[in-house]
């Protein structure tokens, strides 16, 4: 007998429901179900008309409150009879006395979704006046009140919850588990929080346009999209959270993929690095990334040739890498990677021949995503806060390059310098990139000294450095990089300039017959 009492205590018996929804998806099935369960239904305006047209008996809120909807429907549920029915604690004598005294009916279920504010602000033709009218007031209050009183009231904040609600009520004789009611209360609070966050962010953009994206404050809105097998290492947990803040963009909003294995934490991080770089180029380009650094990059009028050149840049490091294309992948381009183990491929689309080749590789994950613009700000986490900065998407104007040496770069060298400069922008600092014929021949990444980065790039080049150009993500504090480059046949250098010892590097170039150009732009990447 005691077990039966405990079971009853864990359930919320649903006798009366209040429904007020903007999105009518699934409402017909839900209302029909509640009617069959003998639940009394109270509804507002358009919701009441919808349910009544189904032939289901309902009461309108105005019948319960004795007060009509006013201000064009702006005020309908903000009434003590409604809020009291939701907030009353069933085991509190004073609350129960108030209900009895004022003839207030307890409400056991609140079904509410909010005005479509987000859809309104996404419309091309909109105005502040139209947007403001989509700011829900009564719905937010209903959800917050029912979520607060989750021990006695079930809060349903989305049509995607209807099926589970009906299943639980069917299984429990018209009742709903209290533990799930608490979980749904959390969901309701997150929905109201995100809703308010979208409103605050939208108004902030309008009010402080000159401070974009460094507003006085903004809501960071994250929604878990799916769990990951683990984080950077197997002992770390991981998940992907979709960013809903401040009109974010990027491939993760449109991602489509196939393959037997799930995408991992490191896969996604590396895919971002590869796709960000490949989008830098207007010509057909292929990028191979390993451990968040490009190890092979090339452009060519023919995509398959670009693929072959990118792979030859560092075929050893390419093993287990991420490959990105900035063009639809054809069969010939896919063939380049047929025999190589790679983790992920990403491209705007794939021809049927390429699909067949990639689908035959058992553990390959294939992603299709548009070449959309990147998010316009970058967020990094530190203990106690976040670091916010603009995305490093500045485009270099080749007409503003400053030639600082006696020897000027040839047209071919200039083309290779600009190519290498874009690669260096995506290599971890300190970064040195060696390139020839719009193909990387050596990449030195993530070193504590720039000369060490050059040594690694030369090691990777395997003798191909002669006649190549060199790109550095930041200025040279000493002339040692230039001197070592000269010993190895480097013919031209591109770097930001700005060191107090720039003249040392310039003189070294002149002595060695190397051309050097300054960009005036630094590309540190930590």
Token output for 112: 């509410």
How many Cα neighbours within 13 Å face the side chain of 59?
A: 15
Give 153-217 as a DSSP string: -EEE-SGGGHHHHHHHHHHTTSEEEHHHHHHHHHHHHHHHHHHHHHHHHHHHHHH-GGGTT--S-
| Same domain for 98 and 200 | yes
How long, in residues, is the chain? 526
Binning pLDDT at 50, 70 and 90, where does residue 253 land? low
pLDDT of 84 over the 80 cut: yes
**Domain end among 177, 206, 235:** 206
| Same domain for 179 and 47 | yes
How many Å apart are CA 31 and CA 47, to the nearest integer?
A: 10
Binning pLDDT at 50, 70 and 90, where does residue 374 land? low
**Higher-scoring residue by pLDDT: 120, 422:** 422
CATH number, domain at 60? 3.40.50.1380
* 148 catalytically annotated: yes
| Same domain for 257 and 303 | yes
- The confidence score (pLDDT) of residue 244 equals 76
By mean pLDDT, which of 62-76, 152-166, 429-443, 503-517 is the weakest? 62-76
Token output for 24: 């009518």
Q: Does any domain span residue 245?
A: no
Judging by beta carbons within 10 Å of its beta carbon (0-12, 13-18, 19+), is residue 373 exposed, middle or buried?
exposed
| Same domain for 108 and 27 | yes
- The confidence score (pLDDT) of residue 2 equals 46
- The confidence score (pLDDT) of residue 182 equals 95
pLDDT of 393 over the 90 cut: no
Percent of the chain with pLDDT over 70: 95
* 79 catalytically annotated: no
| Same domain for 432 and 353 | no
Number of domains in the chain: 3
Q: Does any domain span residue 237?
A: no
461-479 pLDDT per residue, tens = 999 999 999 999 999 999 9
| Same domain for 362 and 323 | yes
Q: Does any domain span residue 346?
A: yes
Helix (H), strand (E), coil (C) string for 361-405: CCCCEEEECCCCCCCCEEEEEECCEEEEEECCCCCCCHHHCEECC
Contact 399/416 with Cβ under 8 angstroms?
A: no
Cβ-proximal residues to 219 (8 Å cutoff; 6+ apart), any chain: 194, 196, 197, 198, 200, 201, 245
Please tell me which residue in 148, 178, 391, 407 is annotated as part of the active site.
148
State the DSSP H helix or E strand holding residue 43, giving kind and residue range, or none if neither.
Answer: strand 40-43
Q: Does any domain span residue 136?
A: yes
| Same domain for 170 and 111 | yes
Binning pLDDT at 50, 70 and 90, where does residue 247 land? low
126-140 pLDDT per residue, tens = 778 878 877 888 889
- pTM, two decimal places: 0.81
275-325 pLDDT per residue, tens = 999 999 999 999 999 999 999 999 999 999 999 999 999 999 999 999 999
Token output for 448: 């504590």
- Its domain, for residue 58, covers 2-206
pLDDT of 251 over the 80 cut: no
Cβ-proximal residues to 476 (8 Å cutoff; 6+ apart), any chain: 450, 482, 495, 499, 501, 502, 505
| Same domain for 149 and 55 | yes
Contact 111/20 with Cβ under 8 angstroms?
A: yes
**Average pLDDT, integer, range 201-216:** 85
Q: Does any domain span residue 225?
A: no
Binning pLDDT at 50, 70 and 90, where does residue 1 land? very low
| Same domain for 361 and 405 | no
**Domain end among 172, 206, 240:** 206
Calculate the average pLDDT of the chain. Answer: 90
| Same domain for 315 and 360 | yes
Q: Does any domain span residue 36?
A: yes
Contact 376/243 with Cβ under 8 angstroms?
A: no
pLDDT of 6 over the 50 cut: no
| Same domain for 484 and 360 | no
Q: Does any domain span residue 161?
A: yes
Q: Does any domain span residue 242?
A: no
How far is Cα of residue 275 from the mean position of the Cα atoms in its chain? 14
Burial 203-226 (b: 16+ CB within 10 A, else e): ebbeeeeeeebebeebbebeeeee
**Higher-scoring residue by pLDDT: 250, 414:** 414
Contact 374/482 with Cβ under 8 angstroms?
A: no
Find the radius of gyration of the CA atoms of the chain.
31
- The confidence score (pLDDT) of residue 381 equals 83
By mean pLDDT, which of 81-90, 266-275, 393-402 is the weakest? 393-402
328-349 pLDDT per residue, tens = 999 999 999 999 999 999 999 9
| Same domain for 469 and 349 | no
Please tell me which residue in 291, 331, 335, 407 is annotated as part of the active site.
291
CATH number, domain at 295? 3.40.140.20
């Amino acid at each position: 007998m005691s077990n039966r009492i405990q079971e009853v205590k864990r359930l919320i018996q649903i006798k009366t429901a209040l429904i007020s929804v903007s999105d009518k998806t699934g409402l017909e099935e839900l209302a029909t179900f509640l009617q069959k369960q003998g639940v009394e239904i109270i509804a507002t305006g358009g919701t009441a008309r919808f349910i009544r047209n189904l032939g289901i008996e309902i009461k309108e809120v105005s019948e319960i409150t004795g007060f009509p909807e006013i201000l064009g429907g702006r005020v309908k549920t903000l009434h003590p009879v409604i809020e009291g029915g939701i907030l009353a604690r069933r085991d509190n004598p004073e609350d129960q006395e108030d209900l009895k005294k004022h003839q207030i009916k307890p409400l056991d279920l609140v079904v509410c979704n909010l005005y479509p504010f987000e859809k309104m602000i996404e419309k091309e033709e909109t105005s502040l006046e139209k947007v403001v009218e989509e700011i829900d007031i009564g719905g937010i209050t209903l959800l917050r009140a029912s979520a607060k009183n989750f021990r006695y009231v079930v809060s349903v904040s989305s049509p995607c919850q209807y099926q589970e609600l009906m299943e639980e009520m069917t299984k429990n004789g018209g009742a709903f588990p209290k533990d799930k009611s608490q979980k749904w209360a959390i969901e309701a609070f997150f929905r109201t929080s995100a809703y308010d966050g979208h409103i605050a962010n939208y108004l902030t953009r309008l009010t402080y346009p000159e401070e974009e994206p460094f507003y006085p404050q903004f809501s960071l809105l994250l929604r878990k999209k799916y769990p990951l097998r683990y984080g950077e290492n197997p002992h770390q947990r991981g998940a992907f959270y979709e960013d809903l803040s401040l009109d974010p963009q990027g491939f993760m909003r449109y991602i489509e993929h196939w393959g037997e294995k799930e995408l991992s934490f490191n896969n996604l991080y590396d895919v971002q690095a590869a796709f960000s770089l490949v989008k830098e180029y207007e010509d057909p380009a292929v990028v191979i990334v390993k451990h968040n650094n490009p190890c092979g990059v090339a452009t060519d009028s023919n995509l398959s040739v670009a693929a072959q050149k990118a792979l030859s840049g560092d075929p050893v490091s390419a093993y287990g890498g991420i490959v990105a294309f900035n063009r639809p992948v054809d069969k010939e381009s896919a063939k380049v990677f047929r025999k190589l183990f790679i983790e992920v491929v990403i491209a705007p689309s794939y021809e049927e021949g390429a699909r067949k080749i990639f689908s035959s590789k058992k553990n390959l994950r294939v992603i299709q995503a548009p070449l959309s613009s990147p998010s316009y700000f970058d967020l990094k986490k530190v203990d106690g806060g976040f670091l916010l900065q603009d995305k490093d998407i500045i485009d270099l104007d080749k007409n503003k390059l400053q030639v600082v040496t006696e020897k000027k770069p040839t047209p071919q060298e200039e083309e290779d310098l600009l190519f290498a400069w874009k690669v260096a922008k995506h290599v971890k600092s300190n970064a040195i990139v060696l390139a020839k014929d719009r193909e990387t021949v050596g990449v030195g990444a993530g070193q504590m000294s720039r000369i060490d980065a050059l040594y690694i790039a030369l090691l990777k080049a395997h003798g191909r450095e002669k006649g190549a150009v060199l790109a550095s993500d930041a200025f040279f504090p000493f002339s040692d990089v230039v001197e070592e480059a000269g010993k190895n046949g480097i013919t031209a250098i591109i770097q930001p300039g700005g060191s107090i010892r720039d003249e040392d590097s310039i003189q070294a170039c002149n002595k060695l017959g190397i051309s050097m150009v300054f960009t005036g732009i630094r590309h540190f990447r930590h």
